[in-house]
Amino acid sequence: MGTTASQLDKGMLSEYQELTFLTKQEILLAYKRFSELLPKEETNGLSYRIPMNAILELPELKTNPFNKRICMVFSTSDSHDGSLSFDDFLDLLSAFSDSATLEIKSHYAFRIFDFDDDGTLGRQDLEKLVNCLTGGTVDTSLTPEEMKQLIDNILEESDIDKDGTVNLSEFQHVISRSPDFVS
């Protein structure tokens, strides 16, 4: 870790620690993982953007059905290609870490589920979400009727103002009471 640690000087490290929910060791570990993804000739790791395909090769993200969405949400690239810089990468890890607050988790979860980036979860978003969760293959996916019923049920429960979509505050309201989400 000698060479990699030297790139992250102490001040940077403590700043990063201040701004994320990660500890020093975790940040160093994250940097190690990140620099493994860097191409050989790249020396300045902090400013380089790793393309989405390389990120998706990480085993932790490879099996996640929302992996593309996660990259898109955390990417700050101007071209919206889902590429991540080290800052974005740390943001991602911080949001997913154990000690992150409920608020930030629900915020990012909402953005990940909002497939068309329109600020609410409409029927289409929910449909895509179900397809992602059921694996997207033919034999495991639900029939159209089941899908309709499921989405109707979900909207019935969580769409408090009955506008046909789930917005952020409704989402947070629902999710903050879930025992699975809290812990």
Partner 1 sequence: MLHKNSTLSYCLQSTKIHCLLLVFAHTVREFFFYRKEYKLFYQKILLICLFIPFLNESMSFLGDEQFEGGNKEKRHREKRRDGSKDRRKRANAKRRERSRADRENEEFEERLGKREKGRRGRVKNDQEAKKRDEQDSEDKENSEDKEVKPESLSPDELEKLKEAVDEKKKLIQSLRGKPWPMKKKLVTLQETLRIQSHDDQDFENFKTACIPWEMKIKEIESHFGSSVASYFIFLRWMYGINMILFGLTFGLVMVPEALMGRPYGSIPRKTVPRAEEASAMDFAVLWDFGGYAQYSVLFYGFYSNQRAIGWLKFRMPLSYFLVGVGTVAYSYMVVIRTMARNANESGVGDDNSFNFSWKMFTSWDYLIGNPETADNKFASITTCFKEAILEEQESRKDDNIHLTRFLRVLANFLVLCCLAGSGYLIYFVVRRSQKFALDGFENHTWWERNEVNMVMSLLGMFCPMLFDVISTLENYHPRVALQWQLGRIFALFLGNLYTFIIALMDEINVKREEENIVKFNITMWEASLYNGTVSENFTASPITIHPADVPRGPCWETMVGQEFVRLIISDTMTTYITLLIGDFLRAVLVRFLNHCWCWDLEAGFPSYSEFDVSGNVLGLIFNQGMIWMGAFYAPCLPALNVLRLHVSMYLQCWAVMCCNVPQERVFKASGSNNFYMAMLLVILFLSTLPNIYTIVTIPPSFDCGPFSGKNRMFDVIHETLESDFPAWFSKVFSYASNPGLVLPFILLMVLAIYYLQSTSKSYKEANVELKKKLQMVIQIMKIILLLPTTVNNWRNNNASFQGQEGEILLPKSRQLENESYSCLIIQTYCLRRKERVTFFSKKTYDNEVKKKSFPVVFSF
Q: In this structure, what token pair is assigned to residue 118?
A: 């329109």
Beta carbon nearer to partner 1, 53 or 102:
102
CB of 37 to partner 1, least distance (A): 16
Beta carbon nearer to partner 1, 40 or 57:
57
How many Cβ atoms from other residues are within 10 Å of residue 7's Cβ?
14
User: Rounded to an integer, what distance in angstroms lies between the CA atom of residue 173 and that of residue 106?
Assistant: 9
Beta carbon nearer to partner 1, 41 or 149:
149
Please name which of 86, 170, 61 lies closest in space to residue 121, comparing C-alpha atoms. Answer: 170
SS3 87: helix
Q: Under a CB-based contact definition with an 8 Å cutoff, are residues 72 and 80 in contact?
A: yes
Beta carbon nearer to partner 1, 124 or 169:
169
CB of 42 to partner 1, least distance (A): 19
CB of 92 to partner 1, least distance (A): 10
User: Rounded to an integer, what distance in angstroms lies between the CA atom of residue 55 and that of residue 62?
Assistant: 9
Q: Under a CB-based contact definition with an 8 Å cutoff, are residues 159 and 170 in contact?
A: yes
CB of 156 to partner 1, least distance (A): 8
